[in-house]
Copies of this chain bind each other. A is one copy, B any other.
């Protein structure tokens, strides 16, 4: 088996495919690297084909005609994105960007559809992934419908801890560089509001903030304040294995 397809083989989604099916997919799949903040697809792109994130982090964005931006979702390694184009042709209505340097497999729509026809396992796996994303989005929806900006921000911090939390002497570091603007785009607020809220939380001794750096000092109380269970901090390992290092990912664009 060639090295190219190594990730795909190791992605739980594809583990039930036969060797033959895998090599078929391999022949058609393309791998590509994207540097931090570059676009992976645009809303105007023709929406066939699906993307599988091998490494990095991808954000799904939406922009209004008057330029306002929101982040709809973050994609983790091993997850698909752009996959709704499989079923509904036409233009995509969102944008995908690499949040950090990322490596992505491009799976042609036709091939993937054919494989799905022949593998109920694969179909089921994809269904699960889409369903999981729907659950995430439903949670965001509830959050927007019911919670204040401050609560949404607190909630977001807790979620981030779950994925990027790192124990430190001073507290739990959210090990991910996020500007206030980005936080604002996630919770649907303005940058200024986020700055103010973070300041408030710092004053309340819940967190300490630095430039693109947030340390949660009192997880207990933070979780309490939004009536939520204290999150577990995920182990640093990924279920999706780290690929052979790409020489210079910044040149991928």
Residues of chain A whose beta carbon lies under 8 Å from any beta carbon of chain B: 62, 64-65, 68, 70, 72, 83-84, 86-88, 93-94, 116-121, 123-124, 126-128, 130-135, 137-138, 140-142, 144-146, 188, 227
A144 and B144 contacting across the interface, CB-CB below 8 Å: yes
- Which residue of B has the minimal Cβ distance to A123? B123
A142 and B87 contacting across the interface, CB-CB below 8 Å: no
Q: Which of B124, B132, B188 contacts A144 (CB 8 A)?
A: B188
Task: Collect the chain B residues with CB atoms within 8 Å of residue A121's CB.
Answer: 117
How distant is the Cα of A133 from the Cα of B134 in the complex, in angstroms?
A: 8
Task: Collect the chain B residues with CB atoms within 8 Å of residue A87's CB.
Answer: 127-128, 131-132
Known A-B contacts A141-B72, A144-B145; the reply to A120 vs B130 at CB < 8 A is: no
B88 and A131 contacting across the interface, CB-CB below 8 Å: yes
Number of this chain's copies in the assembly equals: 2
B137 and A84 contacting across the interface, CB-CB below 8 Å: no
Task: Collect the chain B residues with CB atoms within 8 Å of residue A68's CB.
Answer: 146
Task: Collect the chain B residues with CB atoms within 8 Å of residue A118's CB.
Answer: 120
How distant is the Cα of A141 from the Cα of B62 in the complex, in angstroms?
A: 10
Task: Collect the chain B residues with CB atoms within 8 Å of residue A146's CB.
Answer: 64, 68, 70
How distant is the Cα of A86 from the Cα of B142 in the complex, in angstroms?
A: 22
Known A-B contacts A120-B123, A146-B68; the reply to A137 vs B138 at CB < 8 A is: yes
Task: Collect the chain B residues with CB atoms within 8 Å of residue A127's CB.
Answer: 87, 123, 126-127, 130
A70 and B142 contacting across the interface, CB-CB below 8 Å: yes
How distant is the Cα of A83 from the Cα of B128 in the complex, in angstroms?
A: 11
Task: Collect the chain B residues with CB atoms within 8 Å of residue A123's CB.
Answer: 116, 120, 123-124, 127
How distant is the Cα of A119 from the Cα of B119 in the complex, in angstroms?
A: 9
A136 to chain B, nearest CB (A): 10
B135 and A124 contacting across the interface, CB-CB below 8 Å: no
Task: Collect the chain B residues with CB atoms within 8 Å of residue A144's CB.
Answer: 141, 144-145, 188
How distant is the Cα of A68 from the Cα of B64 in the complex, in angstroms?
A: 29
Q: Which of A83, A118, A134 has the most CB of B within 10 A?
A: A134
A224 to chain B, nearest CB (A): 14
A24 to chain B, nearest CB (A): 16
- Which residue of B has the minimal Cβ distance to A142? B62
